[in-house]
Each structure stands twice: as structure tokens, then as C-alpha cells.
């Protein structure tokens, strides 16, 4: 099915599905071959060439979701991130990135680029003026992530894309936190959109995958490097990911709604010091978020009042699980200091504004009331336990 003028849920359900011509089954057949004929065929297929039937079909769906000409699926979000970044850079080139980045991306840059002779600059405030000032004659790529992990800062996508275009710089965005349901950066002028499909696309905390969506021209170098690096995804997982994406629209919309209500609840709670959620009018970039997102997403962070032990709070939650990853249908929390940003030095974390007691909250699809109740009982438990140990 073509994606022209189809709504998000219809794209999720139908675009790119493979027809079962033999048995007329309702879902895409799964082709697990790693070996295909090379004679008398238009495409020489091989999983690491990213062109098996299931890979190509799902790529169509992802391209449609991101309003892109084409897309590719990777074995992980980091395979997508690293391949897309390295595809446009060579020795002597320079890349500008916002400092507020997914921990793995930050490590990729700081641990690997030097050995390829690629220079990089992080901009502390992801503001368009700061970006423009950091541009050098050798700058080839700018890389942003919005909303960011874990403080949900918002970068002005249109402004970054516009400045990049003016200077002939390729713009890349990590669109994982928003998902294609809430944000379509290509419509705002961005060249290349990257996803950790492990998150909202997979949505059930059981698939590791990545995706890139862009024009055919921008995909060419990404595809050439991808074949060399070999970060493709098993067709079985591609097939599972197709199934997951069918419900992405309704899942994410439910998560948006839940997150908005919970953010408001937390903001008005006397034991909560601070809430970071772009859907709150008190978020410093709420208006900007409104201007570039269709929904504010299921991710937020918050800090308890200083007197309350954040780690004890997380242990006291019963329904909400403490978990490393995010974006599943189940609500989870984590401490960025102990997990996603553990590899950064305390100094780096402070620079990014990540306090030790910060709690990142991935809101699931449970009933809002049950989540509220769980938070209330955990706060009460922390107070009770802390009272007990005080002299």
C-alpha cells in the first residue's frame, strides 16, 4: 500500500506490508533466507545489503512514517547513529553536536572520532546562535537530539536545519524520544532522521533495532558504509518490529495523554521539587515544543524534594518498574546517574545539569490513576522509612 495521504495509524498498520500471495494470510510472510539467487533477478539480495523482502518492506513503512523518500533498518539504535554520523565524515572534517545527548552517542563521539582524525565540538546550549558560532570551514555535519535525554530540553529544529542549509552542512537528528508519531523533522528541514527502534517503534521492551530515514541522495553514503560495517537486523526481528509498529500510533498517543496527566500531578505534588516535561506550560521551551511537535511524548524526568531519598523511592515503587531502557508499554523509571549517564564523569553530568537524585520516567499505557497511586504510596513509604532512621 502506498502512503499517500494516509493517516498515522493507517501507515502504522498497512504501509509496506508484504502480500501473502500463496496462502492469503493476513500478515506479511517472513523470509528468513540469507541466500538468494543472483541470476535472472533485478536485486541481488543479502541481509547485510539491507535488501531482503522483509527489510525492504519495513523500510517503506518507516520512510512513510517520517515523510522521507527512503529508510534503512539497523541492528541497533547505535548502529544507525554510528553509521549515519560516519557516512558523512572523513579525516579533517568537523562535526557539531549538542552536548545533551544520549549517553551512547556521546561516548561514540568522544571515544572514536579522534582515531579517524575527525574533529568535533559540543555546544552547551543547543541554541541556533551557539551552533552558528561554532561553524568552521571544515564543518560537515550538525547533530541534534530533541527532546533530549534525560532533561527533555528542546532544540529548535527549524532554526538548526535552516542554518545548516545556509552553510552547506548536513543536519542529523535523533528522533527517538519523540517517535514519528510526535515529531517529523524532515518536514522541518532536517536531512537525516535517526531512531533507536528499540524504544517507541518496538514499544514492548523486547526488540533491539535502529532506523534511518532521509532522501535517496543522503542515503547513498549511509548505505555504502552500512554494507561495510555490517549492522543489519535479523529478518525475524524485522518481522517482529513490523508487528510492533502496527500499534505505535495508538500506543504513543496513550503515552502522551498519560504523561501529560502525570506531569501535571507531579508538578503540583508538594514532595516533588521539579518536573521536566515539554507538555507543561512551565517548561522553558513549551512554546517551541508546541511549534514543532504533534504531541509531547511519554518521557519526563523529575526530582524529589532534597530530603527524600530518590533511590529508596525507586525501590518502593510497586507497579512502576526500575529499568534500564524506556518507551515500553509498561511504565519504568531509572536513575541517569547510575545507568544511561554513568560513564560520564560527575563533572560532565553537572555540566549537563543532571543531578544525582534525578529520576527519568518512561510513562506506559497503564491507567493513570494506578500510576498516581503507585507514586503516592512510594513517597509515603520513603517518608516512613526515613522517619524511622532519624534520631
Ligand X SMILES: *Cc1c(COP(=O)(O)O)cnc(C)c1O
The SS3 assignment for 389 reads helix
Please pick, from the candidates 104, 189, 221, 353, the single residue that binds ligand X as defined by CB under 6 A. Answer: 104
Residue 360 is a binding residue for ligand X (CB under 6 A): no
Residue 85 is a binding residue for ligand X (CB under 6 A): no
Relative orientation angle of helices 53-65 and 235-246, to the nearest 10 degrees = 30
Of 83 and 316, which has the nearer Cβ to ligand X? 83
Residue 78 is a binding residue for ligand X (CB under 6 A): yes
Contacts to ligand X from residues 107-126, by CB under 6 A: none
Please pick, from the candidates 10, 51, 76, 311, the single residue that binds ligand X as defined by CB under 6 A. Answer: 76
H/E element, 302: strand 299-304
Pair 297, 253: CB distance under 8 Å: no
Antiparallel, parallel or unpaired: β 299-304 and 272-276:
antiparallel
Task: Name the residue whose CB lies closest to ligand X.
Answer: 77
Site string for ligand X, 246-285 (x = CB under 6 A): ----------------------------------------
- In the complex, minimum distance from the CB of residue 175 to ligand X, in angstroms, rounded to a whole number: 8
Which residues does 59 contact at the CB level (< 8 Å), separation at least 6?
16, 50, 70, 71, 72, 73
Which residues does 57 contact at the CB level (< 8 Å), separation at least 6?
16, 17, 18, 28, 242
Residue 198 is a binding residue for ligand X (CB under 6 A): yes
Which residues does 91 contact at the CB level (< 8 Å), separation at least 6?
116, 117, 118
| Stretch of 108-116, 192-200, 250-258, 360-368 contacting ligand X, by CB under 6 A | 192-200
- In the complex, minimum distance from the CB of residue 6 to ligand X, in angstroms, rounded to a whole number: 27
Residue 196 is a binding residue for ligand X (CB under 6 A): yes
Residue 295 is a binding residue for ligand X (CB under 6 A): no
Report the distance separating Cα 222 and Cα 218, nearest Å.
Answer: 7
- In the complex, minimum distance from the CB of residue 235 to ligand X, in angstroms, rounded to a whole number: 18
Amino acid at each position: 500500500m502506498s502512503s499517500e495521504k494516509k493517516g498515522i495509524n493507517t501507515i502504522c498498520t498497512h504501509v509496506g506490508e508484504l502480500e501473502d500471495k500463496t496462502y492469503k494470510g493476513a500478515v506479511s510472510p517472513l523470509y528468513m533466507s540469507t541466500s538468494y539467487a543472483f541470476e535472472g533477478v533485478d536485486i541481488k539480495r543479502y541481509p547485510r545489503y539491507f535488501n531482503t523482502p522483509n527489510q525492504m518492506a519495513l523500510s517503506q513503512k518507516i520512510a512513510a512514517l517520517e515523510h522521507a523518500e527512503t529508510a534503512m533498518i539497523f541492528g541497533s539504535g547505535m548502529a544507525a547513529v554510528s553509521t549515519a554520523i560516519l557516512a558523512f565524515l572523513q579525516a579533517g572534517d568537523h562535526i557539531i553536536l549538542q552536548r545533551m545527548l544520549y549517553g551512547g552517542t556521546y561516548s561514540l563521539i568522544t571515544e572514536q572520532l579522534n582515531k579517524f582524525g575527525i574533529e568535533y565540538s559540543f555546544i552547551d546550549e543547543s541554541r541556533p546562535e551557539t551552533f552558528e558560532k561554532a561553524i568552521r570551514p571544515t564543518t560537515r555535519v550538525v547533530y541534534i537530539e530533541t527532546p533530549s535525554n534525560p532533561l527533555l530540553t528542546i532544540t529548535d529544529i527549524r532554526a538548526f536545519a535552516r542554518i545548516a542549509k545556509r552553510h552547506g552542512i548536513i543536519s542529523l537528528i535523533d528522533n527517538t524520544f519523540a517517535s514519528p508519531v510526535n515529531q517529523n523533522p524532515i518536514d522541518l528541514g532536517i536531512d537525516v532522521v535517526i531512531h533507536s527502534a528499540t524504544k517507541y517503534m518496538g514499544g514492548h521492551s523486547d526488540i533491539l533495532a535502529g532506523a534511518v530515514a532521509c532522501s535517496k541522495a543522503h542515503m547513498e553514503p549511509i548505505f555504502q558504509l552500512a554494507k561495510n560495517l555490517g549492522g543489519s537486523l535479523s529478518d525475524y526481528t524485522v518481522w517482529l518490529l513490523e508487528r510492533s509498529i502496527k500499534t505505535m500510533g495508538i500506543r504513543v498517543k496513550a503515552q502522551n495523554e498519560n504523561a501529560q496527566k502525570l506531569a501535571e500531578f507531579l508538578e503540583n505534588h508538594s514532595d516533588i521539587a521539579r518536573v521536566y516535561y515539554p507538555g507543561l506550560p512551565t517548561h522553558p521551551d513549551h512554546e517551541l515544543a508546541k511549534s514543532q511537535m504533534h504531541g509531547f511524548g511519554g518521557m519526563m524526568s523529575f526530582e524529589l524534594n532534597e530530603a527524600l531519598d530518590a533511590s529508596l523511592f525507586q525501590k518502593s515503587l510497586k507497579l512502576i518498574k526500575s529499568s534500564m531502557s524506556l518507551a515500553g508499554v509498561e511504565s519504568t523509571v531509572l536513575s541517569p546517574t547510575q545507568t544511561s549517564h554513568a560513564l560520564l564523569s560527575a563533572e560532565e553530568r553537572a555540566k549537563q545539569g543532571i543531578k544525582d537524585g534525578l529520576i527519568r520516567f518512561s510513562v506506559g499505557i497503564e491507567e493513570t490513576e494506578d500510576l498516581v497511586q503507585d507514586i503516592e504510596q512510594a513517597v509515603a513509604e520513603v517518608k516512613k522509612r526515613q522517619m524511622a532512621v532519624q534520631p
